[in-house]
Structure 1
Amino acid sequence: MTDRLPQKLRADAEDNRERILASARTLFADQGLGVPMREIARHAGVGPATLYRRYPTKQALATAAFAEQVRACEEIVEEGLAAADPWQGFCLVIERICELHIRQRGFTDAFLATYPDADDLESRELTLKSMATLARRAKAGGKLRRDFRMSDLVVMLTAHRGLQAATPAVRVAASRRFADLTVRAFSA
């Protein structure tokens, strides 16, 4: 029998995993994906070997750390697709994605990064295809600019990633303003 049974982590190993993921989320949110793996291990209170044994690459760590945000992104796009008015759905997606990204700065980098081996690559591609469908519907309704391209969203997310502010509340306010200006720019 070559198939292995799923192995439940020991309590201390599970605790280490949770601390590593929490530290990665915090540091990625504060500093982006450029934060060194050793700093994440130090912040989590584990040795580098413990971190690398569980997450051998930063890609694997970022994928695990942002799994919830990827699911949230999928749900936001699904909610936008379900809206009766495609333009309102499109606007909702822009606003909610900006809010999600401003709260987790590293998520934008992780979502836009090209990780060919990432576990979530298929779901990211599906999310982008769903967003393209929503954009086509909003264009057909005459509310989204005819010259809008999906690459415009990448430009928007890249620009949004640069928002800086002294406090989280000011960052959120700046993000909302950015989302509003983006919606206006995309409007027909």
Structure 2
Amino acid sequence: MDAYVRLEKVRRMHTQLPRLRADARDNRERIIVAARALFAQRGVDVGMREIARRAGVGPATLYRRFPTRQAVIDEVFATELDACGQIVLDACADPDPWRGFTSALHSLTSLNVRNRSFVDALTAASSVEGSLVAHRRELLGMLAQLARRAQKTGALRCDFAIGDLVLALRAGRGLASGDEATRDAAARRFSALLVDAFRASGH
């Protein structure tokens, strides 16, 4: 419950946006749509001027709405991070930590395959503190705690660290560039292989 309260707190901090005029709201939405499309196609390293061109707005308008590229990233992936948060909460609530861990692994891999830059947004380090940065930190901390619980049962290999999960998710980003008809099957196969790789010997 404490974890749920913390996640809800940082989510509300992010969603409490100031009132905008109709034209400002329209520009903001166009920027988000353009950035989401570019990030999905090419990752989060797309430049701000390219986002502005895709959105059909001037650089000044873009920077007025989003002072940094990190601010754009946080806004674009807010929905995905909320979905990720629910996955992690459900996994941590499972009385069997290994089952919860593997469930999170399957679900995060499936989420990852829908957008090749989502993992970048989840794990990106930022020098600018904000609600989404706190959200990311909270999620990774909860996953690390779940992993330690699974290790205590002897199901998860003892040398596992949360960086291994991040590495695995990064490795799976290429699945998003595959044929749309086969992505889900590829994600299921990839996550099954990861489960076997993380399983403790003899379990």
Question: TM over 0.5: same fold?
Answer: yes
Residue 101 (structure 1) shift: 1.6
Q: Which runs of 4+ in 1 moved over 6 A?
A: none
C-alpha separation between the residues in 2 aligned to 1:33 and 1:118?
Answer: 18
Q: 1:81 to 1:7 in 2, by over 3 A?
A: closer
Letter in 2 for 1:121: V
Aligned residue runs from structure 1 range 141-156, under 5 A: 141-156=153-168
Aligned partner of 2:41 in structure 1 is 30
Aligned residue runs from structure 1 range 35-50, under 5 A: 35-50=46-61
SS of structure 2 residue aligned to 1:105: coil
Aligned residue runs from structure 1 range 165-176, under 5 A: 165-176=177-188
Aligned partner of 2:138 in structure 1 is 126
Q: CA RMSD in A?
A: 1.7
TM-superposition CA deviations, 1:80-126 (whole Å, max 9, x none): 00112111110111111111122122221122211021422222111
Identity across aligned pairs (percent)? Answer: 50
Contact 1:60/1:118 (<8 A) preserved: no
Q: Which runs of 5+ in 2 are unaligned?
A: 1-16
SS of structure 2 residue aligned to 1:160: helix
Letter in 2 for 1:95: H
Q: Which runs of 5+ in 1 are unaligned?
A: 1-5
Aligned partner of 2:100 in structure 1 is 89
Aligned partner of 1:73 in structure 2 is 84
C-alpha separation between the residues in 2 aligned to 1:159 and 1:12?
Answer: 41
TM-superposition CA deviations, 1:20-66 (whole Å, max 9, x none): 11211121011101222222222222222211211122111101111
| Residue 201 (structure 2) pairs with residue 185 (structure 1) | no
TM-score (ref. length: structure 2): 0.83
Aligned partner of 1:3 in structure 2 is none
C-alpha separation between the residues in 2 aligned to 1:172 and 1:44?
Answer: 30
Aligned partner of 2:70 in structure 1 is 59
> Higher mean Cα deviation, 160-169 or 100-109?
160-169
Q: 1:7 to 1:85 in 2, by over 3 A?
A: closer
TM-score (ref. length: structure 1): 0.89
C-alpha separation between the residues in 2 aligned to 1:54 and 1:151?
Answer: 33
C-alpha separation between the residues in 2 aligned to 1:105 and 1:164?
Answer: 5
C-alpha separation between the residues in 1 aligned to 2:53 and 2:82?
Answer: 28
